[in-house]
Amino acid sequence: MGVGEMRRFLPALSVLQGVWPRSAAILAPLCIGIVAGVLLAGCAPMNPAPPTAAAPAVQPVQVQVSPAAPQPTPVAPTTEPSPSPTLAPIPETARKTLRVFGAGSLIQPFTELEKAFEARHPEVDVQSEFHGSIQVMRHVSELHEKIDVSATADYALIPMLLYAVKDPETGKPYADWYLRFATNRLSLAYTPQSKYGKEITPENWYEIVSRPDVRVGLADPRFDAAGYRALMALRLAEYKYGKPGLLNNFIAGRFTFPITVFAEDDYTEITVPEVLEPVAGSGLIVRGASIMLIALLESGDLDYAFEYESVIRQHNLQWVPLPDEVNLGSEGQNENYQRVEVAMDFHRFASVKPVFRGEQIGYGVTIPSSAPQPELAAEYLAFLLGPEGRQIMDANYHPLFDPVICDQAANIPETLRGFCAPPASP
């Protein structure tokens, strides 16, 4: 696997926060002692000295030793023996690096995709990192990292943060096309230990999560699409169940600087402040990405969390399926979803003010114009959208669009255009 398996997920909670590297030193306690004649004797494992803090990471090496076999009677060779042929592994320095940044909800399927792609292409080292969706975009547009594939849980972030921002090295936009390739549904995850877990239903979930003795997890809407979608879902639940004030009841008094809600006729705007800190003891726990809430659920530190259904099923959690009018997963409900918007009231972004309008969840992916390996990145995306990639996504309960929805098709690499839906008739 190489370096790819040593770089994994840690969503950033601040502007420049990166990813925890993971490395491992592999110890191989093996010793062969030779006793008199042809007898084979074992040797106890060696205890190597502990590595120093500056020691570089060592690539894993596995050594297998077969049991000793009876020695045949020596026969003098008639010709000089030739060495046995061996297949030398591709040196790590000779492998091409493909950097893939993805939303946290893509960790499990994209990790499997990485292994499958590398098996097909042993000359490639896929290095994957996972963050909240907004952070994925900002690693390109504001931190100017050289990334080959950017995949986000909200396709709208690509034109908002990559089309609109130019690479200072080239003067070109960081992207001028995207593929809307996958969808999902928002749900409420819980465990058998969750408070009121035996009472909660699709009809009363909103009342239970608003109780003061219930601990609820929310992704930070400043960094993660699941966070602002959870706020949308709570407002949509007001319409669905006829419960005015439901969202306000959930957020009231829970933040040091409040989230504000403006409602007029059939339109609602939810505004997220620049500083979003839960009040201690409020029962609300906020993390930089929704995937970070899973461990808190499993440890019993949370009772409920707003999560994507694919992630819930991957982790074998229980969940309350939210109705289509609320879960942001139904194309037929787009007109209903569009009644709600979430705006970010801060200047964290260099050139845009993000406003997100409710619609069916759509994951987006592009190859940034600054990508070091654009051809290889296109091959990776073709693998994702091909039969083997679809099988991996399906096995992880993450549905893909078929065909995918493409923006600016003329700018899309030719090898990917065949996956796009045909343009609508005039």
User: In this structure, are 281 and 409 located in the same domain?
Assistant: no
Question: Would residue 351 count as lying in a domain?
Answer: no
Question: Would residue 277 count as lying in a domain?
Answer: yes
Provide the pLDDT confidence category of residue 90 given band limits of 50, 70 and 90: low
What does the pLDDT look like over 167-186, one tens digit per residue?
A: 999 999 999 999 999 999 99
User: In this structure, are 163 and 284 located in the same domain?
Assistant: no
Residue 49 clears pLDDT 50, i.e. is over it: no
CATH label of the domain that carries residue 258: 3.40.190.10
CA 151 – CA 367 distance, rounded (Å): 9
The mean-pLDDT minimum among 21-25, 107-111, 348-352, 379-383 falls in 21-25
In degrees and rounded to multiples of 5, residue 254 shows phi and psi of -100, -10
Tracing tokens 């045909």 back to the chain, one arrives at 422
Provide the pLDDT confidence category of residue 421 given band limits of 50, 70 and 90: confident
Question: Would residue 261 count as lying in a domain?
Answer: yes
Whole-model pTM: value is 0.78
Give the per-residue pLDDT at 92.
Answer: 59
Give the per-residue pLDDT at 89.
Answer: 59
Domain boundary among 344, 374, 391: 344
User: In this structure, are 256 and 144 located in the same domain?
Assistant: no
Residue 77 clears pLDDT 60, i.e. is over it: no
Interval 130-137 mean pLDDT: 94
Residue 123 clears pLDDT 70, i.e. is over it: yes
Question: Would residue 51 count as lying in a domain?
Answer: no
Residue 1 clears pLDDT 60, i.e. is over it: no
Domain boundary among 344, 374, 400: 344
CA 180 – CA 364 distance, rounded (Å): 4
Give the per-residue pLDDT at 351.
Answer: 57
User: In this structure, are 249 and 236 located in the same domain?
Assistant: yes
Provide the pLDDT confidence category of residue 370 given band limits of 50, 70 and 90: very high
Q: Which residue has the higher pLDDT, 120 or 75?
A: 120
What does the pLDDT look like over 263-304, one tens digit per residue?
A: 998 899 999 999 999 999 999 999 999 999 999 999 999 999
User: In this structure, are 259 and 287 located in the same domain?
Assistant: yes
Give the per-residue pLDDT at 354.
Answer: 87
User: In this structure, are 103 and 248 located in the same domain?
Assistant: no
Interval 339-347 mean pLDDT: 89
- Over the range 73-102, which residues count as b (16 or more CB within 10 Å of their CB) and which as e? eeeeeeeeeeeeeeeeeeeeeebebbbbbb
User: In this structure, are 211 and 241 located in the same domain?
Assistant: yes
Percent over 70 (pLDDT), the chain = 76
The mean-pLDDT minimum among 122-136, 147-161, 314-328, 346-360 falls in 346-360
Structure tokens at 362: 């759509």
Structure tokens at 26: 């592999």
Provide the pLDDT confidence category of residue 88 given band limits of 50, 70 and 90: low
CB count in 10 Å sphere of residue 425:
4
User: In this structure, are 296 and 222 located in the same domain?
Assistant: yes
Handedness of CA 179, 136, 219, 190 (dihedral sign): positive
User: In this structure, are 233 and 273 located in the same domain?
Assistant: yes
Give the per-residue pLDDT at 263.
Answer: 93
Give the per-residue pLDDT at 46.
Answer: 42
Tracing tokens 């001028």 back to the chain, one arrives at 176
What does the pLDDT look like over 3-45, one tens digit per residue?
A: 444 444 444 333 333 333 333 333 333 333 333 333 333 333 4
Question: Would residue 68 count as lying in a domain?
Answer: no
Question: Would residue 12 count as lying in a domain?
Answer: no
CA 285 – CA 219 distance, rounded (Å): 8
**Strands 216-219 and 304-308, how do they pair?**
parallel
CB count in 10 Å sphere of residue 334:
13
User: In this structure, are 338 and 192 located in the same domain?
Assistant: yes
User: In this structure, are 154 and 207 located in the same domain?
Assistant: no
User: In this structure, are 171 and 203 located in the same domain?
Assistant: no
Question: Would residue 84 count as lying in a domain?
Answer: no
Give the per-residue pLDDT at 265.
Answer: 84
* 39 CB burial (10 A radius; 0-12, 13-18, 19+): exposed
Domain hosting 408: range is: 93-183+362-417
Residue 345 clears pLDDT 60, i.e. is over it: yes
Total tally of structural domains belonging to the chain: 2
What does the pLDDT look like over 146-172, one tens digit per residue?
A: 999 999 999 999 999 999 999 999 999
Question: Would residue 211 count as lying in a domain?
Answer: yes
Q: Provide CB contacts within 8 A for 162, sequence distance 6+.
A: 137, 140, 141, 150, 173, 174, 175, 366, 368
Provide the pLDDT confidence category of residue 91 given band limits of 50, 70 and 90: low
**Mean pLDDT computed over every residue of the chain:** 83
Interval 240-257 mean pLDDT: 94
Domain boundary among 315, 344, 373: 344
